[in-house]
Chain A
Amino acid sequence: MRPFTYARPDTLADAVALLAERGAEARVLAGGTDLIIRLRDGSVRPEVVVDVKRVPELAPGIRARDGGMLVIGATTTMTEIAAHPLIRRDVAGLAEAAAVVGSVQIRNRATLAGNLCNASPAADTAPSLLVHGAVVVAHGLAGERRIGLDDFFVRSGLTTLAPGELVVAIEIPASGHGRIASAHQRRTRRRGHDLASVTLACGLDATGLTRIAYGSVGPRPILRLDTTGVLAAAASTDEARTPIFEAIFADATPSVRSMRAGAEYRLAMLRVLGRRALATAQARLAAGE
């Protein structure tokens, strides 16, 4: 590991200023579960590592705002998310996804903002947050702005955050159509901690709008909607749903060179997981009403 300077600013202003000043020389440290691996293998070689865990605005915590919005502090860990009663009740897919990230030890360290900012196509929390319409709250030299999560990811390792911008929180808005019931599914090579070869979430509301988001089959997670109501309708047959799924998954472009899973398998599993997540979301929607 190459030596670097460790900085631990106490204020958001200091953190943002430092990041803006050092640009590509700086790396943000929250949970460190991605950063430390890359520091060790030399694939990132920062001059300065900026620990943001002392910045009050990024503090961990899950708060409900009036109107039903949930706000998750940037450094909230996967363990906290997976166990939180409001997340489990209202954002079930996210609770499921957070519960399978890494191992127990990793989940005790890994943060939600870190999982998003790392921008891995396989990030497990991304699909559930996408189907719930999550918004990233970022803070930079120019102040605060909100970025819809679908506008946040560019490709592996790259987001639309401007240089110097920090994610301070993730907002999960209340759906305009009442509760979204969601479910998460993934494929891995083993049950113990592993990176997903397909990660997928389905969200469903009472209007019959179905949202499916999936990752690890292209450069970034993808969100697609079914506005026909066919997926959601309990009476729909598999035959009726098949073309809808085909359209939803049409943008999946899994690598043919990956050693984690073959492209053909990933594409097939998208369809299996899509049906499974839909069935779970339907059951949850029905049970919640």
Chain B
Amino acid sequence: MTALDGTIGTSPNRVGGIDRVTGAQRYLADMSVTDALHAKLVTVPVARARVARIDGSAALALPGVRLVLTADDLPQPVPRFGPQNLDRPVLATGETKYHGDPVALVVADTREQAEAGVAAVHVDYKALPAVCTVAAALATGAPLVQDRSLRAKDPRRNTNVLNEHVVAWGDVEAAAAEPGLTIVERRYTFPMVTHFAIEPHAFMAAPDGDGVSVWSTIQHPNWLQKTIAGLTRLPLSKVRVYAPDPGGGFGGKQHAKYEPAVVFAALRLGRPVRLVLTLEETFQAVRRAACEARVRTGFTADGRIAFHDIEADYLIGAYTDIADRVVGKGSYPAAGPYNVPAVRIVARAILSHTVPSTAFRGFGNPQINWAVESTIDEGARVLGIDPVDVRLRNLARKGDRFIPFDTPCDGEWDQAVRKAAELIGWDTPCPPGRGRGIALGIKSGPTTGLSYSIVRLLADGSVVVYAGTSDMGQGARTVFAQIASHELGAPLDWITVVMGDTAIVPYDQQTSASRSTVLMGNAILAACRDIQAKLRSIAATQLGAADTDVTVAEGVVRLADGREFPIREVLAAGLGRLGGEITGLGEMRKEAEAGHPLSGAPAFFEFNCTAIEAEVDADTGDVTIDRHVTVSDVGKALNPLQVRMQDEGAAIMGLGHTLMEHYILDDEGRIRNLGAIDYRIPTSMDLPRELRSEAVENADGPGPYGSKGMSEGALLCVAPAVAAAVRDATGVAIRDLPLTPERVWRALQVGAAPGDAEGRR
């Protein structure tokens, strides 16, 4: 195989990969335009404050400072935006809602001048009581995070409960009353964590004729276009969004954050304005929802799950962003990939005076899966049944409607479980001092979707693919080029994939939910097939054959009589002296379904099984992951190396929230560990001693060639599998994340609670 061979199922070099690793790739922070001014955010150092007055006069007197933009300078009432609720003001007005909520934007000729300007802005504010935990937000008399007027039609407007999502089938109470059940009930917590994309979030805006251009590290350029058009009352055609390939997104770059403020500043000044966030500011812009979950599960004596009764309170931030969808969609499959006759899931989105939580790889599932899988593990131990056996006894098989009103089980999931168990050596003795744990997880893929692609087959046989997906490192460009190469016969370096410009690239709903290979991939495939159909007519005319005697596939034109011609030959002759090109249009649409709680059943499930072998240093509490096995059902690996990299990346990211990551808030709700020094993510030295990623491939997915989305699955199971291994090694159960050395040490000091050590291997 050469690096230029795009054959499906092989792993050609990543498109753009060399630029990424050599530093040649230009990220948005590397870009500027002529005359661009520099913006910095002004914030107040408390979680919640009443802002009486903002005096920018001293800042404006400084050299280079052009503008101190506050809410007062915006249209009134201050415009609000958000993907679910229009509740986030462009700049905070009257009251700040979290530590980092910007009250003003200082714009100056240089970044240093903008920083000096920020220091000179006088904000007259009074700190107010803040609610930063589930308990505080739900307490009687707790201050309301959102003004009632924003939720006028919401019956919960007098509380901090933004929404409650209930999923239920069967009769849980009747099931629980059955004699002979072993019932396990436990509480689990999952902390606030942040995405920590290595590329900083960056934004730029410039007046552009009678419209505006916006540059952003956004994952969803079309969403941003719509948001800015709405706020500025411009038609979509007058808002041009440039979205250069992000350097990591993980969900944190899905929706608009400070683009609107930058746009208003640029329009006011009539000049381009850019804002590049620091890592610290990024922590104050995006995070994952924390979660407190209670799980009550009944098991029959032979290890069947009789019922799940699950309550989860997700602590979201001050503005909705996409957090309520995270809670609803993430908790929806909380009963896991099992056939359970009675289920009740109640998940609440709780507002708080904290950074707005948003989409984050796994989308609400890791929080609840941590609790539910740990409970299943505990049930297995109490019953004395092997944790793998318990899971296999309950696991859905292909076609099972394990969620009664949803997409049936769409994979041979037991294959993944058996493979993971085999790879970790589940049935072999565990080396002394070590423990093993295993966990399963599912996540619903996209429930709606709309992707268009245009593919142009140029006169020389080279190809241009237009796709509105954002390639943030997941490798979408490579897979898209492979599809076009496979279908149209051009080598990979004859294919250009154009992304990230709403004035050129047709609409794509979003880059999220591990959808792009499936949805955009199908759109590209359809566009290529459109070209193939046109080629068939051309070839038939050219070669004197009937249309029906010509087939075009995988770069080759075939006649019924056995003659074969490369597409390029037929194309050159068919286009004639004027040349030109053949254009294909592809559309992939997954419509919303009326009445479905998620507005639609998922296009596919991501399924993963993770098995861990770990050892615990009893003196220090250190957890060492000796072996980490992750097996995902991917349908078909279009690019096996990229599949493995995504799977490994998700696994390692999962180790972060499992072992070390968490926001530390002070009593006033300020984030104490802002930045890289005191918020720890795994480094290469923190990786498992052995990390093994394997895929199950049965070509049974809805994407091109039977593929499924797969970029999040390996994150779903890390915490429960590691905690089960720690428990197996020590006999001590820990139900709060992360499993820092200190937390593990403390738990070991306390020792095993009654029942904890049961079922120890």
Contacts and interface: CB of A to CB of B under 8 A. Distances in A.
Contacts of B740: 189
A279 B490 CA distance: 65
B126 interface: no
A99 interface: no
B590 interface: no
A139 to B, nearest CB: 32
Interface stretch (B307-315, B520-528, B556-564, B679-687): B679-687
Interface centre among A189, A194, A269, by most B CB within 10 Å?
A189
B742 A262 contact: yes
Interface centre among B115, B619, B684, by most A CB within 10 Å?
B619
The secondary structure that dominates the A interface is loop
A5 to B, nearest CB: 15
A187 B741 contact: yes
Interface in A83-127: 103
Given A190-B686, A192-B685, A265-B742, A272 B620 contact: yes
A260 B740 CA distance: 11
B672 A191 contact: no
A195 to B, nearest CB: 7
A195 B673 CA distance: 13
A3 B741 CA distance: 41
A189 B680 contact: yes
B678 A191 contact: no
B664 interface: yes
B607 interface: no
Interface string A148-187: 0000000000000000000000000000000000000001
A265 B112 CA distance: 42
A3 B115 CA distance: 12
Contacts of A272: 619-620
A192 B112 contact: no
A194 to B, nearest CB: 7
A196 to B, nearest CB: 13
B745 interface: yes
A190 B660 contact: yes
A187 B672 CA distance: 21
A195 B678 CA distance: 9
Contact of B677 (A103, A191, A195): A195
B125 to A, nearest CB: 21
B761 interface: no
A261 B680 CA distance: 13
Nearest to A264: B746
Nearest to B742: A265
Contact of A265 (B115, B673, B677, B745): B745
A259 B672 contact: yes
Contacts of A193: 683
Nearest to B624: A191
Contacts of A194: 680
Interface in A26-44: 37
A192 B681 CA distance: 9
Contacts of A262: 742
Contact of A3 (B112, B620, B685, B686): B112
A99 to B, nearest CB: 12
Contacts of B112: 1-3
Interface in A13-56: 37
Nearest to A189: B680
Interface in A187-242: 187, 189-195
B685 A191 contact: yes
A189 B660 contact: yes
Nearest to A197: B742
B680 A190 contact: yes
A191 B620 contact: no
A64 interface: no
23 contacts: A1-B115, A3-B112, A189-B660, A189-B740, A189-B741, A190-B659, A190-B680, A190-B683, A190-B686, A191-B685, A191-B686, A192-B680, A192-B683, A192-B684, A194-B680, A195-B677, A259-B664, A259-B673, A259-B678, A262-B742, A265-B742, A265-B745, A269-B620
Given A189-B680, A192-B683, A265-B742, 13 more contacts: A1-B112, A1-B115, A189-B660, A190-B682, A190-B683, A191-B685, A192-B684, A192-B686, A193-B683, A259-B672, A260-B678, A265-B745, A269-B620
